[in-house]
Amino acid sequence: MNDLIEMRIMAAVRGLLTGRVNEILGNAENAIPLIELGEASCGYAVVPEIVLTNCERTEKERIIRQDVYSLTITLAIPETPESELHCYAYSGAVSRAVYGDPTLGGVADRAVITGKKYIPPTRTNCGEGWGLAITMRITVEGMKE
């Protein structure tokens, strides 16, 4: 059953990114490349890397039988003069989307953004782009035995 929960969480996050986050980015004042799911990114879209792992549970979460997951969304933003601006725009759009739907469409009990890491290029104008890593903590009611 946990595999099903994990698959539902991944599908909900992918839907959030390609749905609500892209809607927020589309309404932005500046033209920002949208998020697409696929193999490789280009200048017109950004492809996220989404990693879901089990997380250590607190004593309370063990008692009430909640499963806890850590999810990391990593975006590699191609180098342009606006790359830093795009990095902050993606961060804000993901935050607004998660805060607007903390249950991920009813899949989770609660999803909270626990960290954001902005990764500037080590050398500017050398072909390296910006990066963004967003970490989330997702709690789901576990199976009752």
What helix, strand, coil percent values describe the chain, rounded to 5?
35, 30, 35
Q: Is the pLDDT of residue 129 over 50?
A: yes
Q: Is the pLDDT of residue 144 over 70?
A: no
Mean pLDDT confidence for 39-57: 80
pLDDT range class, residue 41, cuts 50, 70, 90? low
Q: Which of 90, 111, 108, 91 is nearest to 100 (CA)?
A: 111
State pTM to two decimals: 0.87
Q: In Å, what is the CA distance from 94 to each residue of 16, 66, 115, 121, 123?
A: 8, 24, 12, 22, 27
Q: Which domains are seen in the chain, by residue range?
A: 2-141 (3.30.70)
**Alpha helix locations (H) across the chain?**
2-16, 22-26, 59-63, 83-100
Least confident of 47-51, 70-74, 121-125: 121-125
